[in-house]
Amino acid sequence: MPNKYDITDAELEIMQVLWKNKECDLNTIIEELNGETDKNRNTVKTLLRRLILKGSVESKKINLKDTVYVPKVKKDKFLSNQNDNFLKKLYNGKTGNLLLNFVENKKVSKEELQKLIDILESED
């Protein structure tokens, strides 16, 4: 029932590794997770299975014994999706409201904002 963008926190950690490495075998995933979060091998396998169930990840068999996992959602699409949900949930869906909050709480400086304007201007 859940779609491929419905990715839980634990699942996300795995997606991050997949996005970083394009595709990955289980051992690599576990290795990269260590330090960040310590997860049992079986836990990772279950998370991968759920991601596959939802269509967020695909498994490719290399041979009878080995498998690699490939992300099937693009990171930038996922991020847009998360941004939208977050804005909808807390800021009436309006980017402006969130930005205003950042400004009010000094989470962003004049210089940063100016740099963003520069980027926008360099585009047209």
Residue 121 near a copy of itself by CB under 8 A: yes
The residue from 31, 70, 86, 88 that contacts a copy of itself (CB under 8 A) is 86
Q: Give the residue carrying structure tokens 């260590």.
A: 34
Q: What are phi and psi of 71, to 5 degrees?
A: -70, 135
Residues 40-59 vs a copy of itself: string with x where CB under 8 A? --------------------
Stretch of 25-33, 40-48, 52-60, 72-80 lying at the interface with a copy of itself (CB under 8 A): 72-80
Distance CA 89, CA 47 (A): 26
CB crowding 102-121: b at 16 or more within 10 Å, else e: eeeeeeeeeeeeeeeeeeee
Q: Give the residue carrying structure tokens 């939802």.
A: 54
Residues in contact with a copy of itself by the rule CB under 8 A: 9, 12, 76, 79-80, 82-83, 86, 89-90, 95-96, 98-103, 105, 107-110, 112-114, 116-117, 119-121
